[in-house]
Amino acid sequence: MIDKTLLRPSRFFTLLFVPLPECFARRQILDSFVKKCVLEEDVDLDELSELMAAMTASQIEALCDAAFSLAGEELSASMSSDGNIVTPQPQVCIYQS
């Protein structure tokens, strides 16, 4: 949303409406954020892109960053003092409201 004071005359010459990305575009956005990551076999990026219908690209990026951070914290917490992984079970759940 844009503050109404910014929309007063002579503030902007042109206002552009940028729609939310479509499913294919969301999938491409997801692909770009997870291309260097190792994902579990049951991660379905097509299904995730469908669930993210109301999200902008920056919201998808923020969600991916949060998921990567959470997975890293869980993996770090599961490592023993000698560097061996004790219980590697990082999981991230996305719920549609």
Domain span at residue 28 reads 18-34+44-77
pLDDT for the residue numbered 81: 64
Residue 86 is assigned to a structural domain of this protein: no
Q: Residue 68: its pLDDT value, please?
A: 86
Assess if residue 11 is contained within a domain. no
The rounded distance, in Å, linking the Cα atoms of 92 and 90 is 7
Q: What is the pLDDT of residue 85?
A: 61
Contact 49, 30 (CB under 8 A): yes
Predicted TM-score of the model (pTM): 0.66
Looking at the predicted structure, is the pLDDT value of residue 51 above 90? yes
Comparing 15 with 85, the larger pLDDT belongs to 15
Residues 14, 26, 91, 67, Cα dihedral to 10° = -30
Give me the number of domains the chain comprises. 1
Task: State the average pLDDT over residues 55-66.
Answer: 91
Q: What is the mean pLDDT of residues 74-81?
A: 71
